[in-house]
Amino acid sequence: MLTQKSTRRLSFLLLAVTMAATRFGQCGGTSSIPDASWAVFFIAGFYLSAEWRWALPALLAQAVVIDFIAIHYYGISDYCTTAAYWFIAPAYSILWIGGAWFSRNYQATSRDLGRLVISFTLAVSACFLLTEGSFYWLGDDIARTSVAGWWFNFMSWYGDFMLVTAGYVVLAALGHIALTRRLPEHAHLQSP
């Protein structure tokens, strides 16, 4: 029988493996699997909100290490590693907070869908605004910055990031529902 502590450790391990398996595609990689990092941080906030002191820094460090390895050992482009790169820490933390907020308000009812949509949309939008905005305004890759250029860039990529992240979160939500409904002995999973 899984205890609550072992379930959370298993959740962390699964999320860390998911990020490791998909993150190499970020920053110009050729991976055919979309990067799940944003979803990992949102989902981790939901399941591991009480473990934020160790789990959030561990996942942030993992993301940086994966990027370093991908760029320095696998020839992945360093296009996204500008002065704005370090904004991923607060941006990913926003995703974590969105998942943690949803966890605190989760009641295992049909109203949770609305809470999930609100929490997810706000967290992903804020994360994207911070990462894309910092990349556009602080990165060296945009020759002539302008508000119109930033808005065009923002709108060009926003839907893709939202859709990919939503796909992973929907899969996690379906897995959560299936697991908590089929295994009554794991009822503690219903309210993280």
Average pLDDT in the 141-158 region?
Answer: 86
pLDDT tens per residue across span 18-73: 999 998 755 444 557 899 999 999 999 999 999 999 999 999 999 999 989 888 87
pLDDT tens per residue across span 78-124: 666 778 889 999 999 999 999 999 999 999 888 999 999 999 999 99
Decide: 85 and 132 in contact? Cβ < 8 Å: no
CA 131 vs. chain centroid, Å, equals 12
Q: Which range of residues forms the domain containing residue 77?
A: 4-190
Q: Please give the tally of structural domains in the chain.
A: 1
Is the pTM higher than 0.85? yes
Distances (CA, A) of 81 to 64, 68, 76, 78, 116: 10, 10, 11, 5, 31
